[in-house]
A and B are shown apart, each in its own frame.
Chain A
Amino acid sequence: MGHAPREGFDNPIIEWVDSRLPIFTMMQKEYGVFPTPRNFNWFWNFGAIAMFMLITMIVTGIVLAMHYTADTKLAFDSVERITRDVNGGWLLRNLHMNGASFFFIAVYIHMFRGIYYGSYKGPRELLWILGVVIFLLMMATAFIGYVLPWGQMSLWGATVITNLFSAIPFVGEQYIMPLLLGGFSIDNATLTRFFALHYLLPFVIFAVVFLHIWALHVTGSNNPLGIEPKGPQDTLPFHPYYTMKDFFGMIIFMILYAWFVFYAPDALGHPDNYIPANPLVTPPHIVPEWYFLPFYAILRAITFNFNLFMLAGLGLLAVFMVEFIWRYKPKYLSGAQGILLLVAGSGLAVFGLLADFNQTWAIPMTASTDVPISAKFGGVLAMFGSIGLLVVLPWLDSHPIRSARFRPLFRIAVLVFTLSVFILGYAGSQPSDKVYLSTCLGDAQACEAIEHGNADHIEAGHEPTVLALDNTMVAQAFTALYFSFFLIILPLLSRFEKGRELPTSIHEAVLAKKQKAGA
């Protein structure tokens, strides 16, 4: 930055500054003439929109912090005071709490764009990983921020999530929990540290966003065709072409955002959070904010322990995937050994799972006291693992073609994956024992009794079998799909998908499209 020869500015003041600190030269280079692919579609607006949301959150947050009191006795009332008494406080608060949702909307679309068009692939792996870091920091910040109003959902959401850390073996309950909470439960010490962190983390996010954009300006942007620009005929200067396009997209996005702020400020929140926090009463149905729901569903989907049989089976399957799929040519094993590995691995994993569900078999090392990973810890690992997979995504998908436009199978896989994330989100919002479908097999009279809730009156020996599809099963099925997208489908597609022929250059593709539209 700033080492290239300067061209100089006509305005003497700008020139005076720029010759001492070439900030105007840098802005001109990075945001003025910066060569940007000429074929962006609307998906490429969401980076700028996310940046706008980050700034909105920081600005409204700083002002809100001037009116907020981080004390369990005063926090709830101070937030109500902001809404009712502080001049324009209702607006600031609505902007901030809906801003969190809209920041996530922008970032989720931005991430979808990155996956669909293969923006994570070389040379942009680090750019992508920095993005995942931003996403994790955003999740931490949003979670902590939701605790601050100190309503019932604040307290109990935080209780459930911080309890996840008690699942860490040996140190979780005894050392990590008290250190995290500053006491034995979520209380004043927790609230004050959460407030401090909620103020700090956005600036950390800002710093990582700076690195993210820096990395972007080293490699340049990806584009819908997923091929690199070859020369000036493939690019446009960032200003005015994309400053204007970003600005227009931002306005559309802001209209939607403003609609929620002014007409439905609580639509995305939970009514229970308008009840002051009470450590003695748990709300009947604790749900996190909508942007966490898919991950919450994954957390709850792990209702079984991971015993040694399952871990050994999964380990063997992992060796198979690395050796035969990921590595392309097996380095250490023969084909026969591979089949053995596949059979033994899946056999062990299925056997371990069955042994966990049928505790009456009393198979050694499967009792819940003897398992290395309990259901609770397994849920935590699955939840963090589901985000961790994004970090290694550039290596799970090693297909040379970036854009899904030229990979028909990958395209279907990504769309099914996206749909499964939405279904997981829905599953996360519903009680885990909710039944979607059920059939009753056996004695007709007994079935009728169950239907009418008189199960107690059924004679012994006449109990029917009830097959039910409940929410946990839905979450489990789509969690399996989520993980297999990354761990099975992407490596397989990387190896076997042929893909379509790529256009020779961006401008040729653009001109061809234009001719087609004209004819």
Chain B
Amino acid sequence: MSADTKTKNDNSHSENGETRRDFMQLLASAFGVVGGALAAWPLINSLNPAKDTLALATVEVDISGIPKGEAKTIMWQGKPVFVRHRTEEEIKMAEAVEVQSLTDKQSDQERVQRPEWLVTVGVCTHLGCVPVGQKMTDTRGDYGGWFCPCHGSHYDTSGRIRKGPAPKNLAVPPYEFINDTTIRIG
């Protein structure tokens, strides 16, 4: 807007019928929206996980008592975590799979730190049920790993999705071996 049109249009209609007041109204509304959003943020943010919830983010597990072929369930972040002591045969089965044939392409090596120990979050990636297969006597599905009873997802001995509606493999949580019989999850 040039200087002379500005003086001419002061408080009056411009050629297309817009006034300074229209502009001020827009500015004020925009300011109100931004201000409202800023004021709402602390309220919404308070609903995010609190510090004490976040503080429960690590857990140490003694794995010495888990016999081969069995698994232990640990609570981590309110979710079950499976620590499975795999047999030689289960390791072989998991390693023999053609990675390209999988829904969620991951090799067994990518999913374990030590082949005999498989650590996964025990939550089906479909809709969050807990798959069964922790005991050797459980139904372990068509691939010998876990079977989710809710909507029929089958996981293999590496916790990878092989059949059913789940889109992804069982998640591997961050963990490390503190020594041969203890791991820290989180």
Report the separation of the CA atoms of residues A232 and B127 in the bound assembly, to the nearest whole angstrom.
Answer: 57
For residue B92, CB closer than 8 A to chain A, the reply is no
Contact mask B100-129 → A, CB, 8 Å, 1/0? 000111000000000000000000001111
Known: A279-B130, A369-B105, A375-B165. 18 other contacts (CB 8 A): A179-B47, A179-B48, A182-B48, A182-B49, A183-B53, A183-B78, A184-B49, A184-B77, A184-B79, A185-B78, A187-B78, A189-B49, A193-B47, A279-B78, A282-B129, A282-B149, A375-B167, A376-B167
Say whether A160 contacts B48, CB under 8 Å: no
Say whether A164 contacts B127, CB under 8 Å: yes
Say whether A279 contacts B75, CB under 8 Å: yes
Say whether B129 contacts A183, CB under 8 Å: no
For residue A256, CB closer than 8 A to chain B, the reply is no
For residue B178, CB closer than 8 A to chain A, the reply is no
- What are 26 residue pairs bridging A and B, where the CB atoms are less than 8 Å apart in the complex? A159-B129, A160-B127, A160-B150, A163-B127, A179-B44, A179-B47, A180-B47, A181-B49, A182-B50, A184-B79, A186-B78, A187-B53, A189-B49, A189-B50, A279-B78, A279-B79, A280-B73, A282-B148, A285-B149, A286-B129, A368-B103, A375-B167, A376-B165, A432-B151, A432-B152, A433-B152
Report the separation of the CA atoms of residues A184 and B123 in the bound assembly, to the nearest whole angstrom.
Answer: 11
For residue A281, CB closer than 8 A to chain B, the reply is yes
For residue A505, CB closer than 8 A to chain B, the reply is no
Residues of A within 8 A of B69 (CB): none
Report the separation of the CA atoms of residues A433 and B79 in the bound assembly, to the nearest whole angstrom.
Answer: 27
Report the separation of the CA atoms of residues A163 and B53 in the bound assembly, to the nearest whole angstrom.
Answer: 19
Interface of chain B: mostly helix, strand, loop or mixed: loop
Query: Which B residue's beta carbon lies closest to that of A299?
Result: B127
Q: Count chain B CB atoms within 10 A of each CB in A178, A184, A369, A432 and give the residue with the most.
A: A184
Contact mask A331-349 → B, CB, 8 Å, 1/0? 0000000000000000000
**6 closest Cβ pairs, A-B complex:** A185-B78, A184-B77, A163-B128, A282-B129, A160-B127, A159-B128
Residues of A within 8 A of B75 (CB): 279-280
Question: Chain B, interface size: which category?
Answer: 20 to 34
Partner of A279, one of B53, B80, B148, B152: B80
For residue A68, CB closer than 8 A to chain B, the reply is no
User: Shortest Cβ distance from B80 into chain A, in angstroms?
Assistant: 5
Within 50-75 of B, Cβ neighbours of A (below 8 Å) are at: 50, 53, 73, 75
For residue A141, CB closer than 8 A to chain B, the reply is no
Contact mask B122-153 → A, CB, 8 Å, 1/0? 00001111101000000000000000111110
For residue A476, CB closer than 8 A to chain B, the reply is no
User: Shortest Cβ distance from B20 into chain A, in angstroms?
Assistant: 35
Known: A159-B127, A189-B53, A369-B105. A282 touches B48 (CB 8 A): no
Report the separation of the CA atoms of residues A181 and B75 in the bound assembly, to the nearest whole angstrom.
Answer: 17
Residues of B within 8 A of A163 (CB): 126-128
Contact mask A148-190 → B, CB, 8 Å, 1/0? 0000000010011011100000000000001111111111010
Interface residues, chain B, CB within 8 Å of chain A? 44, 47-50, 53, 73, 75, 77-80, 103-105, 126-130, 132, 148-152, 165, 167
Report the separation of the CA atoms of residues A281 and B149 in the bound assembly, to the nearest whole angstrom.
Answer: 11
Interface residues, chain A, CB within 8 Å of chain B? 156, 159-160, 162-164, 178-187, 189, 193, 279-282, 284-286, 300, 303, 368-369, 374-376, 432-433
Say whether B167 contacts A284, CB under 8 Å: no
User: Shortest Cβ distance from A427 into chain B, in angstroms?
Assistant: 14
User: Shortest Cβ distance from B78 into chain A, in angstroms?
Assistant: 4
Report the separation of the CA atoms of residues A303 and B128 in the bound assembly, to the nearest whole angstrom.
Answer: 17
Say whether A160 contacts B128, CB under 8 Å: yes
Query: Which B residue's beta carbon lies closest to that of A371?
Result: B167
Q: Count chain A CB atoms within 10 A of each CB in B50, B75, B79, B104 and give the residue with the most.
A: B79
Report the separation of the CA atoms of residues A180 and B49 in the bound assembly, to the nearest whole angstrom.
Answer: 9
Query: Which B residue's beta carbon lies closest to that of A158?
Result: B128
Partner of A300, one of B50, B148, B151: B151
Residues of A within 8 A of B129 (CB): 156, 159-160, 282, 286
Report the separation of the CA atoms of residues A285 and B129 in the bound assembly, to the nearest whole angstrom.
Answer: 10
User: Shortest Cβ distance from A43 into chain B, in angstroms?
Assistant: 37
Query: Which B residue's beta carbon lies closest to that of A167?
Result: B167
Report the separation of the CA atoms of residues A280 and B77 in the bound assembly, to the nearest whole angstrom.
Answer: 12
Say whether A368 contacts B167, CB under 8 Å: yes
Q: Count chain A CB atoms within 10 A of each CB in B77, B126, B128, B149 and give the residue with the most.
A: B128
Say whether A280 contacts B50, CB under 8 Å: no
Query: Which A residue's beta carbon lies closest to that of B45?
Result: A179
Partner of A282, one of B50, B130, B152: B130
Say whether B49 contacts A183, CB under 8 Å: yes
User: Shortest Cβ distance from B137 into chain A, in angstroms?
Assistant: 16
Report the separation of the CA atoms of residues A368 and B148 in the bound assembly, to the nearest whole angstrom.
Answer: 20
Partner of B126, one of A179, A368, A376, A433: A376
Report the separation of the CA atoms of residues A282 and B53 in the bound assembly, to the nearest whole angstrom.
Answer: 23
Query: Which B residue's beta carbon lies closest to that of A184?
Result: B77
Report the separation of the CA atoms of residues A280 and B73 in the bound assembly, to the nearest whole angstrom.
Answer: 8
Known: A182-B48, A193-B47, A280-B130. A303 touches B77 (CB 8 A): no
User: Shortest Cβ distance from A77 into chain B, in angstroms?
Assistant: 20
Report the separation of the CA atoms of residues A179 and B53 in the bound assembly, to the nearest whole angstrom.
Answer: 13
Query: Which A residue's beta carbon lies closest to that of B105?
Result: A369
User: Shortest Cβ distance from A367 into chain B, in angstroms?
Assistant: 9
Residues of A within 8 A of B104 (CB): 368-369
Known: A163-B128, A183-B78. A178 touches B152 (CB 8 A): no
Known: A160-B150, A300-B151. A182 touches B53 (CB 8 A): yes
Residues of B within 8 A of A160 (CB): 127-129, 150
Partner of B130, one of A164, A281, A303: A281
Q: Count chain A CB atoms within 10 A of each CB in B53, B132, B148, B152 and give the residue with the most.
A: B53
Report the separation of the CA atoms of residues A164 and B132 in the bound assembly, to the nearest whole angstrom.
Answer: 21
Residues of B within 8 A of A300 (CB): 151
Report the separation of the CA atoms of residues A279 and B165 in the bound assembly, to the nearest whole angstrom.
Answer: 22
User: Shortest Cβ distance from A117 into chain B, in angstroms?
Assistant: 38
Known: A185-B79, A282-B150, A303-B165. A178 touches B49 (CB 8 A): yes
